[in-house]
């Protein structure tokens, strides 16, 4: 009986430790509440999940254009390529799914995530590359191409799942990475001296060069996306969120950082956490 009680007590301790380690940082939760509260107050006519449609949710005409484009999406064949790539076994017989326990449909909503063993943030695209290397395969390019196709396939599978990025309570290194991402988001850069927040928080919904600036809330619910702008550049139109970060940096005339490195990984960590609780909307079209 004593042995049984001891076993149960240890199990309970391990269970509570696991729950604690997986709980959201109170600092981060306060930021999320403030961030989402700002947008809810500024755009009271929109629900939380409406923000996933960005500028389309702010204009009936633009929403009609979006819905028309999504009736015959120009990316279906590329998502099918992503599905085939994802499910094709490596030379050792393993598949990508072997690196991501818990079901393929649950993967997208939990990335980017803090990797305590590596001591850094790992985004989904980086995790896919790591999976390849772990299984004896070569790295592939990030930002577009095969990596974007697989990411889009996983985003489609995750449609309806809620974003759940955790910065573990009590983990100083994880919080520091998050704070670096937050600092990046609010720091001005480039010759135009603009921050991510200047465009996508302060001026969200405003017009610029014929386009409507999208709200930062909900940005990460639908990436990788197909963009008409990217398709015109002799490409297939698909790109990851970190490809978009690089494009934004160029637009303010700042030197972009390398993808899957700390600068953009930490930014994505903060940026995605701000949309916690929002539903993944699946792969979508953008201008």
Annotated binding site: 99, 131, 196, 199-200, 244, 248
Please answer whether residues 151 and 141 qualify as being in contact, where contact means their C-beta atoms are separated by less than 8 angstroms: no
Rounded Cα distance between 183 and 66, Å, is 33
Which residue spans within 118-167 are E strands per DSSP?
120-122
Of 27, 277, 33, give the one whose Cα is nearest residue 163: 277
Whether the CB-CB separation of 128 and 150 falls below 8 Å is answered with yes
Annotated binding site for substrate: 244
Say whether 34 sits in a helix, a strand or coil: helix
* Catalytic position from the list 70, 140, 175, 248: 248
Element (H, E) at 225: strand 225-227
In the residue annotation, 150 being an active-site residue is answered as: no
Residues belonging to the binding site for heme c are 99, 131, 196, 199-200, 248
Sign of the torsion angle spanned by Cα atoms 94, 95, 96, 101: negative
What does the longest C-alpha to C-alpha distance in the chain come to? 75
Give the Cα separation of 271 and 214 in Å (integer): 14
Cis-peptide, bond into residue 79, ω within 30° of zero = no
Residue 24 is given by DSSP the state B
DSSP secondary structure letter of residue 47: -
Active-site residues, by number, are 248
């Amino acid at each position: 009986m004593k042995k049984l009680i001891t076993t149960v007590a240890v199990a309970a301790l391990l269970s509570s430790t696991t729950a604690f380690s997986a709980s959201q940082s109170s600092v981060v939760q306060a930021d999320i509440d403030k961030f989402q509260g700002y947008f809810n107050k500024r755009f009271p006519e929109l629900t939380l999940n409406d923000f996933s449609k960005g500028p389309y949710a702010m204009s009936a005409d633009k929403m009609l254009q979006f819905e028309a484009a999504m009736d015959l999406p120009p990316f279906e064949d590329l998502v099918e390529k992503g599905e085939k790539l994802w499910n094709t076994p490596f030379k050792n017989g393993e598949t990508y799914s072997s690196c991501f326990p818990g079901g393929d449909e649950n993967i997208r909503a939990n990335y980017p995530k803090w990797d305590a063993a590596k001591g850094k943030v790992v985004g989904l695209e980086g995790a896919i590359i790591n999976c390849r290397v772990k299984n004896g395969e070569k790295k592939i390019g990030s930002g577009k191409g095969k990596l974007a196709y697989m990411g889009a396939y996983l985003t489609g599978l995750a449609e309806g799942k809620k974003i759940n990025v955790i910065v573990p309570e009590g983990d100083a290194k994880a919080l520091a990475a998050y704070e670096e991402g937050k600092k990046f988001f609010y720091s001005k850069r480039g010759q135009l001296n603009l921050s991510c927040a200047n465009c996508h928080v302060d001026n969200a919904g405003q017009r610029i060069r014929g386009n409507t600036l999208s709200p930062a809330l909900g940005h990460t619910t639908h990436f990788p996306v197909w963009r008409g702008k990217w398709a015109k550049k002799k490409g297939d139109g698909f790109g990851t969120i970190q490809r978009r970060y690089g494009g934004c940096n160029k637009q303010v005339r700042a030197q972009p950082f390398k993808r899957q490195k700390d600068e953009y990984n930490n930014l994505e960590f903060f940026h995605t956490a701000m949309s916690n609780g929002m539903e993944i909307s699946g792969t979508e079209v953008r201008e």
